[in-house]
Amino acid sequence: MDKEIYTELIMEHYKKPRNFGKILKADAEYSDANPLCGDEIKVYINFSNKKIKEIKFIGNGCAISQASASMLTDYVKGKDLEFVKKLDKDDVLKLLGIDLSFNRLKCALLPLKAIKMAVYSYFSK
């Protein structure tokens, strides 16, 4: 059993995730799963002037993965490829506001990987 106590902020994002949903005809999409639990996330992005104009996600997962997706999708709105490239685990932990065990870190980083892969796929076209 994980010992982390989730903050009110995390639980709030988990219960009412920002940017939850699909974008029909998105410029970029990427799905990924956490191999430890099988939980999945799919990210949809539309771009304008090489910046993230709109971003949404769907998926099933634990409080950490869903809160991380909610916070990250807000965080990258209006940002460009260079900004997304530099995002790493420390940025995600800062947004979540807690330290995480190895297994929980995988949950937290799942949305970051999906966002990065969607952005990279768009710019590599």
Residues in contact with 86: Cβ distance below 8 Å, sequence separation at least 6, in sequence order? none
Report the site for ligand FES in 85-114 (rule: CB under 6 A): 107, 110
Q: Which tokens is 19 given?
A: 């940017």
> Nearest Cα to 67, choosing from 21, 13, 18, 105?
13
* Contact mark string toward ligand FES, 53..92, x via CB under 6 A: --------xx-xx---------------------------
Give backbone dihedrals phi and psi of 27, rounded to 5 degrees, phi first. -70, -30
Task: For the CB of residue 57, give the shortest distance to ligand FES in the complex, in Å.
Answer: 13
Nearer to ligand FES, 21 or 38 (CB): 38
Nearer to ligand FES, 45 or 111 (CB): 111
Per DSSP, the three-state class of 82 is helix
Task: For the CB of residue 93, give the shortest distance to ligand FES in the complex, in Å.
Answer: 15
Sheet holding 28-33, edge to edge: 28-33, 40-48, 51-60
Nearer to ligand FES, 27 or 39 (CB): 39
Which residues in this chain contact ligand FES in the complex, by CB under 6 A? 34, 37, 39, 61-62, 64-65, 107, 110
